[in-house]
Structures are given as structure tokens and as C-alpha cells.
Amino acid sequence: MKNALSQKDTAVKNCRNNYLLPLLFLISFSAVLLLLPAAARAAADMELPESSYSTQNSTFKILVVYATRAGSTIEVAQAIGKILASGGAAVDVKPVKNAANLKDYQAVILGSAIRRGAVLPEVTDFAKTNKEELRKIPVACFIVCMILREDSEQNRAKAASYIMPLQDELSFVDAGFFTGKLDYSRLNFIDAFIIKYFIGTPEGDLRDWQKINDWAENLGIKLKNK
């Protein structure tokens, strides 16, 4: 009797190891393959607005380029653009992929959301591709991320490390480090799953508009004095 039971146990184990686990793996793998294009499409479909701000007779032209995945960096870039314009500049705010004619500008600001410990690849590409042009004018950068939701020396160091690949190409007159926004409903399935269940970052809009505006105002003064 005992022998028969242990034979049954072994048969169940064999069935699980030989069929069930590979089947589960296959199902998960297929689900990821099916979801990846949808995830890529969701990011590609997001509207990436361009805006311009200026006061009368402004001759100092600034380009603010941004890269985003869920949209919160767009409003940060626009807020920075508005403040710089109120200080007397003519400011164009554009997605980094639409940036052109850098020769038209006297300063450039690069802005990026952070994903998986890095600035978005289109910003790094932009810095690399245009470094000759960008090294001739003042350049600043800002990042929008969630690690700074807890202000500690360790987290500030981590945030500073995110922009290091950009600093390999360019030196910045200033760098802004801002907390961002996390809204699971704006993420594709895979990103929402990772951030919710693996990383565990809670939802919330932690953008500190006062800090963003103050940084932009101070940057405007620095750029004028350059």
C-alpha cells in the first residue's frame, strides 16, 4: 500500500516536472511575447506636445527637450519653459526626437524621465549625436524620478548617478533632480506589474512645483550671466 502511494507521488512529481512546468513557462513566455508589441505601441501612441513661450522682444533662445514614457516629464518641461520665458527668453519645448536646428538656440536643457536606473535612451543618443554643437553653448539637464521620494544621502547619490552617462558627453551649468509621478493606469501591463509587485513604488504625484520653478528661475539667471 505504502509502495503504491509513493509510486503515485513519483508519477505526480514526474508529470509536474515533465509537462506542467514547461507548459507554464511556455504560457508565460507567449504572454510576454504577445504583450510586448502592445506595450511598445502604448508608448509610441502617447501625444508628445511642442510648445513655445516668450515675452516681447526676447532674443535669447532656449530649447528645452524632453523624453517621457508616461507623460509627467512633459509638464515639468513646460513649467521650466514658462519660467525661463518669464525671465525674458524665447523658449521652445519639444520632445527630444523632434529637436532640430540647434544652431538657432543660445542654450539647451535636456529633460528625462528615469526608467530602470537610467535616463531614457533617446536623451543619451541626443547628447552623443549633438555633443559637438552642444559643447559650444550652455547646457543644463533635469531628471524626473521616484527615488527622491525619500530624501536621503544614498538616494541623492543614486539620482546623481542617473545623469553620469550624460556627463560623459557634456558638462552641465546646472542639473535639476525632481520627484515625479506614478500612476499605474498610465503604464503598460508589464511596467505596471514590475513597478507594483517587484519594485513596490506606490502611486502618487510628487512633483514639487515650487522646487521646479525655483530651479528654473535660478537657471535663467545663470544662463543670462554666462
- Please give the residue ranges that form the binding site for ligand FMN (CB under 6 A): 68-73, 113-117, 144-147, 180-182, 187, 191, 194-195
Which lies closer to ligand FMN via its Cβ, residue 21 or residue 46? 46
Q: Give the pairing type, strands 61-67 and 90-95.
A: parallel
* Shortest spacing between CB 62 and ligand FMN, in angstroms: 20
In whole angstroms, the minimum distance from the beta carbon of 91 to ligand FMN comes to 19
List all residues 6 or more positions away from 205 whose beta carbon is below 8 Å from its beta carbon: 72, 181, 183
Residue 74, Cβ density class (10 Å: 0-12 exposed, 13-18 middle, ≥19 buried)? buried
* Residues 158, 128 contacting (CB under 8 angstroms): no
Q: 90-95 and 107-115: which strand pairing?
A: unpaired
Pairwise CA distance, residues 126 & 122, whole Å: 6
C-beta nearest to ligand FMN: residue: 180
Residue closer to ligand FMN by CB (options 19, 193) is 193
**Least distance in angstroms from the C-beta of 198 to ligand FMN:** 9
Nearer CB in complex with ligand FMN: 91/187: 187
Shortest distance, CB of residue 33 to ligand FMN, whole angstroms?
Answer: 19
